[in-house]
Amino acid sequence: MNVIEVNKLTKYYGKSRGIVDVSFGVEEGEIFGFIGPNGAGKSTTIRLLLSLIHPTSGDARVFGKDIAKEGPTIREQIGYLPSEVFYYDDMKVIDLLKYSASFYPCDCEERTRELASLMELELNRRIRDLSYGNRKKVGIVQGLLHSPKLVLLDEPTAGLDPLMQRKFFDLIRDENKKGVTVFFSSHILSEVQRLCNRVGIIREGRMVEVSDIRTLQQNNTKKIRVNTRYGQPAFDLPGVTNVVTENGTTQLFFRGDINLILRYLTTLNVDDVSIEEPTLEEIFMHYYE
C-alpha cells in the first residue's frame, strides 16, 4: 500500500508557481528522497501534505485518506520536522515537549526522555537560550516522540554538526526498521544517497523523475576517466557527453552499449583507465542543465 499518494497536485501562490501537476507515490516502509534546489517546490509539497496550505488543484492521500477531508486524523500518525524550527520562546524544552505530546493519545513520556538523551538535549533550558543546532534537536525529538508511522523531514540536517547528523541518520534508520515510512526532502545529495531507497527529483515545480536510487545511478551511464600517453583522444562516439581534458586526463560520461566504448578504448594507448558509476550529484546536475 502507498502511504503517500499524490495525484496531479498543483499549488499557485497567487500567480507565482509553487508546484505543478506533481504525482508520485511513497510505499509503506521505504525512505523516499525528495531532491531539488531551493525554490523547486519541496517545502510546498510537504506543507500541502500537512494542510498548512491548500492545493489549487489535484489531490493527495496519506494512509489512504484524503488530506482535504481527514487532516486531523492523518496528522495523528505524522511526525514533521520543518527546515527552520521556531517554538514558543518563553517555554522550557520539557514543557514544549509535554505540550506537543498532549496532542496525541499516547503516553509519550518515556519515548521523549529516550530521544532527548539520545540527541543530548537538555530538558530544563529555555527555548530562547538555545542555539540553532539545539533548537533543531528539539524539533527532532518533538517530531518523533509520538512514534509516528510517517515522518516528513524538510531539509533536516541544516545546523547539526556532523556527529549529530550521523546520530540523526541512525535514528531515522532505526525508525525505518521498525516500519516507519520516511519522506526526506533535501538538496544535499550525498545524504539522500546514504539514506534513501527511492528518490523523486523536482525541478521548477515539476517532478522530473521518480526512480529507484540504484536505477538512477546505474542508468547505463558510466563515468570514464582515461590517462593517455600521446595526444588527446577524440571520443567521437554516440552517447559520449561532458568531455573534459585536463593534464592528460580525460573525463567523460558515456551512456549506451558498454562494448562500443570498450572497443574504442583498446585502440588508444592508455596509461590508466577507470570506469565507475556517476555519483548522484553528477546525475543530478544532468537534470538541471
Binding site for another protein (CB under 8 A): 13, 43, 47, 50-54, 71-76, 78, 80, 82, 84, 86-89, 99-100, 102-104, 142
Please enumerate in sequence order all residues whose Cβ is within 8 A of that of 186, keeping only pairs 6 or more positions apart, or say none. 33, 34, 35, 153, 155, 156, 157, 192
Q: Which is nearer to another protein, 87 or 183 (CB)?
A: 87
Q: Which is nearer to another protein, 88 or 288 (CB)?
A: 88
Q: Which is nearer to another protein, 72 or 179 (CB)?
A: 72
Min dist CB 171 to another protein, Å, is 19
Min dist CB 175 to another protein, Å, is 18
Straight-line distance from the first to the last Cα atom of the chain, in angstroms, rounded to the nearest whole number: 35
Q: Which is nearer to another protein, 82 or 278 (CB)?
A: 82
Min dist CB 104 to another protein, Å, is 7
Q: Which is nearer to another protein, 156 or 278 (CB)?
A: 156
Q: Are 127 and 99 in contact (CB under 8 A)?
A: no
Helix, strand or coil for residue 286?
helix
Backbone angles phi, psi at 105, to 5 degrees: -75, 5
Min dist CB 96 to another protein, Å, is 8
Radius of gyration of the chain (CA): 23
Pairwise CA distance, residues 128 & 131, whole Å:
8
Contacts 24+ apart (CB under 8 A), 131-138: 132/159, 133/159, 133/160, 133/161, 133/164, 135/85, 135/86, 135/87, 135/159, 136/85, 136/160, 137/164, 138/85, 138/87, 138/93, 138/96, 138/97
Min dist CB 271 to another protein, Å, is 50
Q: Which is nearer to another protein, 43 or 221 (CB)?
A: 43
Min dist CB 37 to another protein, Å, is 14
